[in-house]
Amino acid sequence: MKLELEFESIGGKTAWSPSYLFGLKTVKEIRAIAGCELPISRIDNYAGQLFTDIIKIDIGEEIAERSGHFEYWPVVRVFFPPFGLDRFIDETIYLKRSPNTDEIISARIEKIVNTPHILSEWEKAGFPLRWNTIKEEANK
């Protein structure tokens, strides 16, 4: 059995992170993570945007029990304001390697939804089904 949370915005996008170009500072960070002087021609200097309507997260039985929302249904939907999960978008550096030589053939920034952070904050908020993440952010 699979237990699933669906985070959905009321009247708008769930999460959005704009695209942008970056310069040599980020190139240096990518090279540090890669552990080599990766040629600049192999680094994509464009971090694409992330748009999503619904964020689905598989959860464990322990969280499902603590939330009290899964007694009769394996899927629970949590609603919040438009773009309310923007603060849970992280960036990671993706290194693509050659399957034959393990050489790094390209690098780029990928945007990901930090689902453990969402679950942690949802629990701290008391597992609400209508979660005002914007108001919560303003109070920090």
The rounded average pLDDT for each run of 10 residues, N- to C-terminus, in the chain (140 residues) is 90 72 87 91 82 86 96 94 85 91 90 91 95 62
Classify residue 140: in a domain, yes or no: no
Classify residue 23: in a domain, yes or no: yes
Residue-level pLDDT at 134: 66
Classify residue 137: in a domain, yes or no: no
Total-model pTM: 0.74
Cα 37 to its chain centre, rounded Å, is 29
CA dist 100 and 48 (Å) reads 28
Classify residue 139: in a domain, yes or no: no
List the one residue out of 137, 91, 139, 82 whose CA is nearest residue 113.
91
Number of domains present in the structure of the chain:
1
| Residues 64, 127 contacting (CB under 8 angstroms) | no
Classify residue 28: in a domain, yes or no: yes
Cβ-count burial of 133 within 10 angstroms (0-12 exposed, 13-18 middle, 19+ buried)?
A: buried
Residue-level pLDDT at 136: 53
Classify residue 123: in a domain, yes or no: yes
Residue-level pLDDT at 114: 92
Residue-level pLDDT at 135: 60
By residue range, what is the domain housing residue 50? 3-131
Classify residue 45: in a domain, yes or no: yes
Classify residue 120: in a domain, yes or no: yes
